[in-house]
Structure 1
Amino acid sequence: MTPPDDDDATGIHCRLDELLAERGMTLTRLSEIVGVSIVNLSVLKNDRARAIRYSTLSAICRALDCEIGDLLVRAD
Protein backbone atom coordinates (compact mmCIF):
# COMPACT_ATOMS: atom_id res chain seq x y z
CA MET A 1 0.00 0.00 0.00
CA THR A 2 1.40 3.39 -0.94
CA PRO A 3 1.14 6.41 1.34
CA PRO A 4 -1.33 9.09 0.25
CA ASP A 5 -0.05 11.97 -1.86
CA ASP A 6 -0.09 15.41 -0.27
CA ASP A 7 -3.24 16.25 -2.23
CA ASP A 8 -5.08 13.04 -1.31
CA ALA A 9 -7.64 12.87 1.47
CA THR A 10 -6.36 11.27 4.64
CA GLY A 11 -9.43 9.14 5.26
CA ILE A 12 -9.80 10.83 8.66
CA HIS A 13 -12.83 12.99 9.47
CA CYS A 14 -12.79 15.51 12.29
CA ARG A 15 -16.14 15.76 14.12
CA LEU A 16 -15.29 19.11 15.70
CA ASP A 17 -18.39 20.85 14.29
CA GLU A 18 -20.69 18.16 15.66
CA LEU A 19 -19.05 18.12 19.09
CA LEU A 20 -19.16 21.91 19.36
CA ALA A 21 -22.87 21.91 18.44
CA GLU A 22 -23.65 19.15 20.97
CA ARG A 23 -21.96 21.19 23.70
CA GLY A 24 -23.32 24.57 22.65
CA MET A 25 -19.79 25.90 22.26
CA THR A 26 -18.43 28.20 19.56
CA LEU A 27 -15.15 27.81 17.72
CA THR A 28 -14.15 31.16 19.20
CA ARG A 29 -14.70 29.91 22.76
CA LEU A 30 -12.82 26.67 22.06
CA SER A 31 -9.95 28.75 20.67
CA GLU A 32 -9.84 30.76 23.90
CA ILE A 33 -9.87 27.63 26.07
CA VAL A 34 -7.23 25.63 24.21
CA GLY A 35 -4.99 28.49 23.07
CA VAL A 36 -5.13 27.57 19.39
CA SER A 37 -6.05 30.14 16.74
CA ILE A 38 -9.49 30.09 15.19
CA VAL A 39 -7.83 29.71 11.79
CA ASN A 40 -6.00 26.55 12.87
CA LEU A 41 -9.12 25.09 14.49
CA SER A 42 -11.06 25.88 11.32
CA VAL A 43 -8.48 24.00 9.24
CA LEU A 44 -8.94 21.00 11.54
CA LYS A 45 -12.75 21.34 11.53
CA ASN A 46 -12.88 21.39 7.74
CA ASP A 47 -10.71 18.26 7.37
CA ARG A 48 -7.84 20.21 5.80
CA ALA A 49 -5.29 19.58 8.56
CA ARG A 50 -2.27 17.49 7.63
CA ALA A 51 -1.09 17.02 11.20
CA ILE A 52 -2.07 17.81 14.78
CA ARG A 53 0.11 17.98 17.87
CA TYR A 54 -0.72 15.57 20.66
CA SER A 55 -0.84 18.53 23.06
CA THR A 56 -3.44 20.26 20.87
CA LEU A 57 -5.46 17.07 20.50
CA SER A 58 -5.38 16.54 24.26
CA ALA A 59 -6.42 20.15 24.98
CA ILE A 60 -9.36 19.95 22.55
CA CYS A 61 -10.53 16.67 24.07
CA ARG A 62 -10.27 18.11 27.60
CA ALA A 63 -12.21 21.23 26.59
CA LEU A 64 -14.93 19.18 24.89
CA ASP A 65 -14.90 16.41 27.50
CA CYS A 66 -14.49 13.75 24.84
CA GLU A 67 -12.15 10.99 23.76
CA ILE A 68 -9.89 11.18 20.72
CA GLY A 69 -12.10 8.62 18.98
CA ASP A 70 -15.09 10.95 19.43
CA LEU A 71 -13.21 13.72 17.65
CA LEU A 72 -11.37 11.85 14.90
CA VAL A 73 -13.02 9.03 12.96
CA ARG A 74 -12.23 7.06 9.81
CA ALA A 75 -14.08 8.52 6.86
CA ASP A 76 -13.97 5.50 4.56
Structure 2
Amino acid sequence: MSIVVNLDIMLAKRKVKSKDLAEQIGITEANLSLLKSGKVKGVRFATLEAICRYLDCQPGDLLEYQPDQE
Protein backbone atom coordinates (compact mmCIF):
# COMPACT_ATOMS: atom_id res chain seq x y z
CA MET A 1 0.00 0.00 0.00
CA SER A 2 1.16 3.52 -0.75
CA ILE A 3 0.05 5.02 2.57
CA VAL A 4 2.44 4.34 5.46
CA VAL A 5 1.23 4.78 9.05
CA ASN A 6 3.89 6.26 11.33
CA LEU A 7 1.85 6.07 14.52
CA ASP A 8 4.46 3.89 16.28
CA ILE A 9 7.10 6.55 15.64
CA MET A 10 4.92 9.31 17.08
CA LEU A 11 4.04 7.19 20.12
CA ALA A 12 7.74 6.63 20.77
CA LYS A 13 8.55 10.33 20.34
CA ARG A 14 5.82 11.27 22.80
CA LYS A 15 6.64 8.36 25.15
CA VAL A 16 3.01 7.22 25.08
CA LYS A 17 1.91 3.58 25.32
CA SER A 18 -0.59 2.24 22.81
CA LYS A 19 -2.83 1.15 25.68
CA ASP A 20 -2.96 4.69 27.06
CA LEU A 21 -3.70 6.23 23.66
CA ALA A 22 -6.48 3.75 22.93
CA GLU A 23 -8.05 4.42 26.32
CA GLN A 24 -7.83 8.21 25.92
CA ILE A 25 -9.33 8.35 22.43
CA GLY A 26 -12.01 5.71 23.03
CA ILE A 27 -11.01 2.85 20.73
CA THR A 28 -9.94 -0.69 21.52
CA GLU A 29 -6.29 -1.68 21.64
CA ALA A 30 -7.05 -4.20 18.88
CA ASN A 31 -8.37 -1.46 16.57
CA LEU A 32 -5.40 0.76 17.39
CA SER A 33 -3.06 -2.14 16.57
CA LEU A 34 -4.76 -2.59 13.19
CA LEU A 35 -4.41 1.12 12.51
CA LYS A 36 -0.71 1.09 13.48
CA SER A 37 -0.04 -1.83 11.15
CA GLY A 38 -1.85 -0.18 8.24
CA LYS A 39 -4.33 -3.04 7.98
CA VAL A 40 -7.38 -0.77 7.90
CA LYS A 41 -9.12 0.51 4.78
CA GLY A 42 -9.91 3.87 6.36
CA VAL A 43 -9.86 5.96 9.48
CA ARG A 44 -12.56 8.31 10.70
CA PHE A 45 -11.61 11.97 10.84
CA ALA A 46 -12.89 12.04 14.43
CA THR A 47 -10.42 9.28 15.35
CA LEU A 48 -7.58 11.00 13.51
CA GLU A 49 -8.45 14.27 15.24
CA ALA A 50 -8.47 12.59 18.67
CA ILE A 51 -5.07 11.00 18.02
CA CYS A 52 -3.59 14.30 16.85
CA ARG A 53 -5.05 16.15 19.83
CA TYR A 54 -3.70 13.63 22.34
CA LEU A 55 -0.25 13.34 20.73
CA ASP A 56 -0.07 17.06 19.86
CA CYS A 57 0.79 16.39 16.23
CA GLN A 58 -0.49 16.89 12.69
CA PRO A 59 -2.09 14.21 10.46
CA GLY A 60 1.02 14.38 8.25
CA ASP A 61 3.09 13.26 11.23
CA LEU A 62 1.08 10.03 11.29
CA LEU A 63 0.42 9.31 7.61
CA GLU A 64 2.89 9.32 4.74
CA TYR A 65 2.46 8.69 1.02
CA GLN A 66 5.12 6.50 -0.57
CA PRO A 67 4.50 5.69 -4.25
CA ASP A 68 4.71 2.03 -5.18
CA GLN A 69 7.98 1.11 -6.84
CA GLU A 70 7.45 -0.44 -10.26
**TM-score, normalising length: structure 1:** 0.84
- 1:46 is matched with 37
Unaligned runs of 5+ in 2: none
The share of aligned pairs that are identical, in percent, is 42
Relative to its length, the structure with more helix (as a share) is 2
Matches within 5 A, 1:21-40: 21-40=12-31
Q: What is the deviation of 1:31? A: 0.5
CA RMSD, Structure 1 to Structure 2 (Å): 0.7
Higher relative contact order (CA 8 A, sep 6+): 2
- 1:67 is matched with 58
Distance 2:16 2:32 in 1: 13
Match of 2:4, SS state, is: strand
One-letter identity of the residue aligned with 2:26: G
Structure 1 runs of 4+ with >6 Å offset: none
Query: Which of 47, 50, 66 matches 1:56?
Result: 47
**TM-score, normalising length: structure 2:** 0.91
Rg larger for? 1
Unaligned runs of 5+ in 1: 1-8
Report the count of equivalent residues.
67
